[in-house]
Amino acid sequence: MTPAEQSRQAAEFCRLAPVVPVLVIDDIAHARPLAEALVKGGLPALEVTLRTPAALDAIRAMAEVPGGVVGAGTLLTPADVKAAKAAGARFGVSPGATERLLDACAEHDLPLLPGAATASEIMALLEKGYTVQKFFPAEQAGGAAYLKSIGSPIPQVSFCPTGGISLKLAPEYLGLKNILCVGGSWVAPKDAMARGDWAAITTLAAEAAALSR
């Protein structure tokens, strides 16, 4: 899968809703009800970060939820890419980009949202054919003001910014021409997951899904 093909598919996933939940799952028992709650609230694209031992099993469980499109985040190595694809991930997200990681996504046909934080990184990925990228860490790297500025000299690239974004900050990003969606963890708070309060998470998801872009 070429970078251009990856970006086309990534754009389709990003356009499903204004927010892609960024999920850290410690308990596999939470995976399916969490996915069901988020999809019910209108957020079908789900990023499960590979930061916990339960992550790959969570992707397997969530991939079976009707209406959900599950991806793997925090991809760092070719082994991560292979494991994520085998678990059922339909897209991948990385905090940055290395040649080995990009090659692995091409080899395993996994659409990637490669991470970039500077103009040079964005340009290097664009040169390879990636027209859809993750901007990370969004708030710490300059926020919506930076992305608005980068949109003038590099209008070919669209972004999913992630990192420090909240419900309050999201509209500022979503109002920009070069933003497809934002990534955020606020829609799946750990305390709500611990309580099994899936109704509360559905409410948060619906609130996020209603954001205009």
Given the residues 40, 64, 107, 134, select the one marked as catalytic.
Answer: 134
Between CA 75 and CA 11 the distance in angstroms is: 18
For strands 69-73 and 182-184, give the pairing.
Answer: unpaired
Sheet architecture: strand order including 132-135: 115-116, 132-135, 158-161
Residue 134 annotated as catalytic: yes
Contact yes or no for 83/108 (Cβ under 8 A): no
Residue 47 annotated as catalytic: yes
Contact yes or no for 132/180 (Cβ under 8 A): yes
Contact yes or no for 97/116 (Cβ under 8 A): yes
In 10 A of CB 103, how many CB atoms?
12
Q: Which residues contact 184 (CB under 8 A, 6 or more apart)?
A: 19, 20, 21, 22, 162, 165, 166, 167, 170, 208
Between CA 198 and CA 192 the distance in angstroms is: 7
Given the residues 12, 47, 107, 190, select the one marked as catalytic.
Answer: 47
Q: Is 115 exposed, middle or buried (0-12, 13-18, 19+ CB in 10 A)?
A: buried
DSSP 3-state of 200:
helix
Between CA 8 and CA 154 the distance in angstroms is: 18
- Known catalytic residues are 47, 134
